[in-house]
Amino acid sequence: MREKLQQIKEEALLKLKECQNSQMLDELRVKYLGKKGELTTILRGMGQLSPEERPTVGKIANEVREEIEAAIEETLKQIKQREKNLRLSMETIDVTMPGRANRIGGLHPLTKALDEIKEIFIGMGFSIAEGPEVELDYYNFEALNIPKNHPARDEQDTFYINQNVVLRTQTSPVQIRVMENKKPPIRIIAPGRVYRSDTADATHSPIFHQVEGLVVDKGITMASLKGTLDAFAKRMFGEKTRTKFRPHHFPFTEPSAEVDVSCFVCGGTGCRVCKGSGWIEILGCGMVHPDVLRAGGIDPEVYSGFAFGLGLERIVMIKYGIDDIRLFYENDVRFLKQF
């Protein structure tokens, strides 16, 4: 039995030197030290030895086990080091190679323009107001002096959820909600998405963005409106920009006007962008109709106000010379990265 133990030790140590990976090492551990391993099998047969031989053989068997376990532990360290070195050699990074540039995104042109508009009006003392996009017919039409069957509803044909709930056609309902909940003085802009059942083409979209403004206080006049919008146009399109007010009609303002700015491309001499006129229309405005003030709970005998509304897409198209509104929504990176 002593010779057998010595033979097992020599054989195990020899095979451990030839071991190349963790799987082979585990197989050798089971073969020699496992429950059915060769060393365990011999130890189970010690009952056949005489009482005098058992201590000597048991000591030799423990020494053999310890030597094999130590050799296995050392072999495991060597295998792990080899595997680590192999991984490092395969994962080597050449720090002298040029790095890959990260693709950095940017703001959407509509977002950039809206941020610029907000900054301009906040600088003039306006605050930002928001309201629901799914709106009551009352706030979207009736409170804005557009009763049922009024012709102006045809111009703002929208999506009806039911008879009394619509997708808002403008952000003007926000103005009514603000007047209902806040006493003058009021100075707000209301940016947001609006909806109209238009067929998508180069200049129309069933969803677009508006920025509307409202000022209500004592002594507000048309001069206040013109001064505010003239200051906005100069900040938005350049200090040399001139403004022109043309009479118009909106149900919720009286008097009403449309505002043109001098063409920022040709300076007013006439070009393709302004169609030879030297002017570009940018928004509608007017003095708040007394009925609209009453709908907001404000006495028109004491207070007056002005309102204006501009299409965000139109402003961006004018500013950057974009000829198709659909480009804003197609998510074409070739278009977006220009901004």
Residues belonging to the binding site for Mg(2+) are 254
DSSP-H helix ranges across the chain = 2-18, 22-33, 38-44, 53-90, 109-123, 137-140, 152-155, 172-181, 222-237, 290-295, 312-320, 333-336
Retrieve residue 173's tokens: 């309902």
What does 101-148 look like in DSSP terms, one character per residue? PP------HHHHHHHHHHHHHHHTT-EE----SEEEHHHHTGGGT--T
> Is the bond preceding residue 255 a cis peptide, omega within 30 degrees?
yes
Count of CB atoms situated within 10 Å of the CB of 255:
15
For the annotated binding site, the residues are 254
126 backbone dihedrals φ, ψ, rounded to 5°:
-85, 155
Pairing status of strand 186-195 against strand 127-128 = parallel
**Residue with tokens 């979207």, as numbered in its chain:** 140
**Tokens encoding 248:** 């118009």
HSE, side-chain direction, 13 A CA sphere, residue 158: 26
Query: What is the 3 state secondary structure string of 43-55?
Result: HHHHHHCCCCHHH
Contact predicate 313/209, CB 8 Å:
yes
Please identify which residue in the block is written with the tokens 């009482």. Answer: 51
Tally of CB atoms within 10 A around 80? 11
Cα–Cα distances (Å) from 333 to 115, 124, 278, 318, in that order, read 21, 35, 33, 21
User: If 0-12 CB within 10 Å is exposed, 13-18 middle and 19+ buried, where does residue 281 land?
Assistant: middle
